[in-house]
A and B are shown apart, each in its own frame.
Chain A
Amino acid sequence: MEKSYIVKQISIFSENRPGRLAAIAGALRDAKINIFAFSIAEADGFGVVRALVDRPEDAHRTLTDLGFRVSFTDVIGVKMRDEPGGLSDIASVLGDAGINIEYAYAYSGKDAAVLILRVDQIEDAVRQLLGHGGELLKTSLSQ
């Protein structure tokens, strides 16, 4: 049951130079794939674009066909109260359970703010968050 809360994020390798994000976003636009959330992590000369999209399989195929290096990564999306303390509640639950957050990014959506998390023990994290009354995004974002 934890599995139904594990969301497939697509991660795309990108060189750190002008136009690369435009190329990725353009490809998703042309395939009519909607991006819910995304972030860019940058390092020395390269970066990784991470995105939650409505059709991850299609996005993976589209970008791979265009020559991009793409992988799926399991993440979870937790709804946060969009008010002071929202992030603190979630981070505390995971911290108390000894679960490490490898990276995170967030978006403020229509109904609630959502925190996307990559953690080291994903099923544990799902159990802990649900156990503490957290609300998680379902695997299939489009449904």
Chain B
Amino acid sequence: MAPWNPRAEEMPPDELRRLQFKLVKSLVYRLYSFNDFYRRRMKEQQVHPDDIRTLEDVAKLPFMYKRDLRDGYPDKIFSAGRDELVRYHVSSGTTGKPTVVGYTEHDIENWSESLARGFSSCGLGRGDVMQVSYGYGLFTGGLGAHYGAERVGATVLPTSVGNTERQVELMQDLHVTAIACTPSYLLHMGEVAEKMGVSIKNDTELRIGFLGAEPWSEQMRTRIEEWLGIRAYDIYGTSELSGPMFTECAEQQGIHIWGDLALVEIVDPATGEVLEPGEQGELTITMLQKEALPMVRYRIGDLTALEEDACACGRTHPRIGRIRGRVDDMLIVRGINVFPSQVEHALLEIPEVGRHFQIVVDRKGALDSMLVRVEVSEEAFSDKITELMVIKRKVEHRLRGSLNVSVDAELVEPGSLPRFEGKSKKVVDRRSL
């Protein structure tokens, strides 16, 4: 597929590296001069902007972590003034405190540009109708995909998540050709369509899916492509990078990370040492042009590797392989990030149940389900079933409120939940992707 921005996408590797160095240099000077948080970090690490003499010197810069955003809540580490911001997105944090991402006009511009390149590399363009079935709102998925698709001239159908029968009807009636959603939601949509007597493969014009926000596998890709008669592409991002940001191209050989927008490193999760292409490690990204919330060597927590060979599509930018897992205990349930610590935190505020818990994630049909087992406290135990049901519903309601995912609670006998065995037993993930 023809590049959206040939000059950028087909830039010779040497020139791309020179551009990256220039961008890193100016980013670091800017942060050192104007961003108190990052200047302090650099001083702690005893590194000065003048120490960055080659692109490899980026390895001297301090890392950033999710907790930096949490500690900086809501906008303490922003580099732009409030009057320069055009948007906020907010994601749930690991301990109940959310993280806020701000965007300048230029940030939105680059976000849209990045997705426009990705979408067009898979053949999306004028004449296409893209159904955006990611959530719209504080979550970045909906609006991110929306802007990217409009940028390439596609018509956007902003359905958001839910009301699946209506989504299937609109897909047919409005000649939808592309969809952006989680892979599990697309499978669910396929099942709902079949119950309605609609075959997505034969009765709709859908031909492309941009699927992400949760891990999936090659087997799942094959199943989706064969069953629904589409080409399914991986899309990657996190709110800290802006949102969904990078996609595969039509070759389906890894996700292109646009080097003029982002510098990707794979580091050893334990030592922070930069790893060679082909080696599995933690994805670490420096956003080279982000203004409102600069991200330098941000440790995303996803495990992957850099692809070594050049892509047959002719684009020269680095590519990462499939996400193989997490360095922490983060779960992704229906596209939403969930940390066991959030559950722990929420339960502390419910005196009717103990602080021990177990999370069981499963996939019923196509959709994830999350069960949280809790023990009824001695004080709250009533022999009336109705009162116990009130406790159960309270737990479900509170967890839903803090996780943004619907949760089933199960009351279990005291002492039956794992105590000190660590995170491995606190989370049981029965999904096979």
Interface residues, chain A, with chain B CB atoms under 8 Å away? 9, 11, 13-15, 20, 41-46, 48, 50, 67-71, 73, 102-103, 118
| Cβ contacts A to B, 19 pairs, < 8 Å | A13-B376, A13-B381, A43-B388, A44-B389, A45-B411, A46-B388, A46-B411, A50-B383, A67-B413, A67-B415, A68-B414, A69-B375, A69-B376, A69-B413, A70-B381, A71-B381, A71-B382, A73-B383, A103-B384
Contact with A along B395-433 (1 / 0, CB 8 A): 000000000000000111111100000000000000000
**Are A11 and B410 interface neighbours, CB within 8 A?**
no
Given contacts A13-B381, A46-B388, A48-B385, A67 and B411 within 8 Å (CB-CB):
no
- Does B349 belong to the interface (CB within 8 Å)? no
Q: A13-B381, A41-B385, A46-B411 are in contact. List 4 more A-B contacts (CB 8 A).
A: A42-B385, A69-B375, A71-B381, A73-B383
Query: What is the CA–CA distance of A95 and B381 in the complex, to the nearest angstrom?
Result: 28
Interface range on chain B: under 10, 10 to 19, 20 to 34, or 35 or more? Answer: 10 to 19
Do A46 and B383 contact each other (CB < 8 Å), given the known contacts A13-B376, A69-B376, A69-B378? Answer: no
B364 to chain A: closest CB distance in Å?
A: 16
Least distance between B94 CB and chain A CB atoms (Å): 28
User: B392 at the A/B interface (Cβ < 8 Å)?
Assistant: yes
User: What separation, in Å, do the CA atoms of A13 and B384 have in the docked complex?
Assistant: 10
Q: Do B413 and A48 have beta carbons less than 8 Å apart?
A: no
Closest to B382 in A: A71
Contacts of A69 in B (CB 8 A): 375-376, 378, 381, 413-414
Interface residues of B (CB under 8 A from A): 375-376, 378, 381-385, 388-389, 392, 410-416
Query: Which of B375, B383, B414, B416 gathers the greatest number of chain A CB atoms within 10 Å?
Result: B383
A42 to B392, CA, bound (A): 14
Closest A residue to B413 by beta carbon equals: A15
Contacts of B411 in A (CB 8 A): 13, 45-46
Of B376, B392, B414, B416, the contact of A44 (CB 8 Å cutoff): B392
Query: CA A103 – CA B381 in complex, angstroms?
Result: 17
Known: A43-B388, A43-B389. Contact between A48 and B383, CB under 8 A? yes
Q: Are B383 and A71 in contact (CB under 8 A)?
A: yes
* B376, A11: Cβ atoms closer than 8 Å: no
A48, B415: Cβ atoms closer than 8 Å: no
Contact A45 B410 (CB under 8 A): yes
Q: Are A68 and B383 in contact (CB under 8 A)?
A: no
- Interchain CA distance A118-B382 in the complex, whole Å: 13
For the complex of A and B, the 7 pairs showing the least CB-CB separation, nearest first, are A11-B383, A67-B415, A43-B385, A45-B410, A69-B381, A73-B383, A46-B411
Residues of B within 8 A of A71 (CB): 381-383
Q: Report chain B residues within 8 Å CB of A14.
A: 413
- State how many angstroms separate the Cβ of B396 from the closest Cβ of chain A: 11
Residues of A within 8 A of B412 (CB): 15, 46
Output the least CB separation between A11 and chain B (Å): 3
CB closest residue in chain B, given A102: B384
Report how far A20 CA is from B378 CA in the complex, Å: 19
Q: How far is the CA of A116 from the CA of B110 in the complex (A)?
A: 72
A17 to B381, CA, bound (A): 19
Give chain B residues whose Cβ lies under 8 Å from the Cβ of A20: 413
Minimum CB–CB distance from A63 to chain B (whole Å) comes to 11
In the assembled complex, how far is the CB of residue B390 from the closest CB belonging to chain A, in whole angstroms? 11
Tell me, in angstroms, the Cα distance from A46 to B395 when the chains sit together.
Answer: 15
B413 contact set on A, CB distance < 8 A? 13-15, 20, 67-69
